[in-house]
Amino acid sequence: MADTEVEHALPSEPQSRHVVYCGACSLPPEYCEFGGIVKKCQDWLQKNHPEMYDRLWSEDALAAATSTLSLDAQKRAEKDAHKKALKAEALEQKHLQQIAESKVTIKRVERNKRKFVTTVTGLEAFGLENKKVAKDLGKKFATGASVTKVPSGGEEIVVQGDVSEEIEEFLLEKYKVIPEDNIELVEDKKKKGAGAGG
Amino acid sequence: MFKKDISPGSKSKVKSSVQRAIRNQLVTTYPLLAPHIDEIIPKKEQLDAMKIPDRVTLYLIGPTPLFYQHMTDALLPHLRLVHRFPTCFPSIRIDRGAIRFVLSGATLMAPGLTSTGGRLPNGDAEEKGAYGEHGRKDGEEKGKEGWYGGRELEKGEPVVVCAEGKEEACAVGILSMGTKEVKEKGKGPVVEEGHYLGDGLWRLVTE
């Protein structure tokens, strides 16, 4: 959970306060109302810190919060909040749609008769960083893995050796955001029997 | 300053001599922090520096962000640190109406501080105490005043911005107008370009 503040557990006198942060919008829960995804925050808080939920979202608290503002300002604030919420929702929708639409392509490219490299494209759409994934892939397969620019724009990860199937497995296991159907394997040349790289 | 999302850069270790200098600088900038400095930056701990856009350096220990610094300006505390030690930083308080503007990255303007919900130092340089000591937790309803410092803060001083009816601080920044002037004038920008809840620096993943 992203709600825990790392506390310096000094044996003598840990004086720092422990602050709970909202798991949905990462702000301290009392600021959730400004986060734009109030509904989610409320759900999260109710589930994880019911006593705090009762305190922050009780009738009294809400009344106290709004009483200090003039009616006009209240209205404006409400309108603003509503707008923000809509915006956040739209953004999320868009994100989901993007994920549903985009594909990760794993391609085997022939380098030199029996030698292959594997290129991976389309990871950015899932919020992954090419550079980091490349590093992970390189570590996993103990091969070179680099990020190169594609002439048509964008970037691709080039991994030495034919490891397309392993990459698919690895990606599915490690980065759960990618649905299995969205991974595409492409082989450039129909050359059989090329041993799994190494 | 951090309206856009920041992608984490590479961390580099801070030289121990530099680390010492930072400690000293912190104690001089935030005298109230002195008793806790060993907890924030333990002597043996390795301080890391991360470069983020706009020539800002973020100092962290392990995954915990501590301070950020624009070029060689004053060290400003990360809000997570402020939340851990809320009484150690000079604070001012804004009224409820201003919160939503501050949290969307607007410049903090004087009316948000001078209205009934806002708090500024009372101008008594002799008074000493912990910031927001009374009132911030439950005092407001009971009619007690939150204490927001005796000494007037000068232009260019770092300041933590708290909010009416909230326990935690919501922004950090540098005053672009002394608090005395704020009281006299009652308008114009007070804190420009700060670090606020939910901005890029706040969301930065430091692992």
Q: Which domains does chain A have, with CATH numbers?
A: 29-99 (no CATH), 102-187 (3.30.780.10)
Chain A residues with CB-CB distance to B103 below 8 A: 31, 34
Mean pLDDT of the region B89-115: 86
Please identify among residues 74-113 of chain A the ones whose CB lies closer than 8 Å to any CB of chain B: 77, 80-81
d(CA A27, nearest CA chain B) in Å:
6
Nearest residue, CB atoms, B168 vs list A14, A16, A28: A28
Q: In terms of C-beta distances under 8 Å and separation of at least 24 residues, what long-range contacts does B173-179 make, across chains too?
A: B173/B76, B173/B108, B174/B73, B174/B74, B174/B76, B177/B110, B178/B152, B178/B153, B178/B154, B179/B92, B179/B120, B179/B121, B179/B152, B179/B153
pLDDT at B172: 92
State yes or no: pLDDT of B15 exceeds 90.
Answer: yes
Mean pLDDT of the region B155-170: 87
**CATH 3.10.400.20 spans which residues of chain B?**
11-84, 86-200
Residues of chain A with pLDDT below 50 are 1-12, 193-198
Provide the pLDDT confidence category of residue B131 given band limits of 50, 70 and 90: low
Nearest residue, CB atoms, B100 vs list A14, A17, A77: A77
pLDDT at B19: 92
Contact at 8 Å (CB) between B182 and B190?
A: yes
Mean of the per-residue pLDDT values of chain B: 82
Tell me which of A171 and B146 has the higher pLDDT: A171
SS (H, E, C) A89-146: HHHHHHHHHHHHHCCEEEEEEEEECCEEEEEEECCHHHCCCHHHHHHHHHHHHCCCEE
Nearest residue, CB atoms, B100 vs list A6, A15, A34: A34
The domain made up of B11-84 is a member of CATH 2.60.40.10: no
Report the C-alpha gap between A146 and A198 in whole angstroms. Answer: 16
| CATH T-level assignment (fold) for domain B86-200 | Sulfate adenylyltransferase (3.10.400)
Report the C-alpha gap between B138 and B188 in whole angstroms. Answer: 31
Q: Residues 6 or more apart from B170 whose CB is under 8 A from it?
A: A31, B79, B94, B99, B102, B103, B161, B162, B163, B196, B197
d(CA A21, nearest CA chain B) in Å:
10
Provide the pLDDT confidence category of residue B13 given band limits of 50, 70 and 90: very high
| C-beta neighbour count of A64 within 10 angstroms | 14
Contact B83 A19 (CB under 8 A): yes
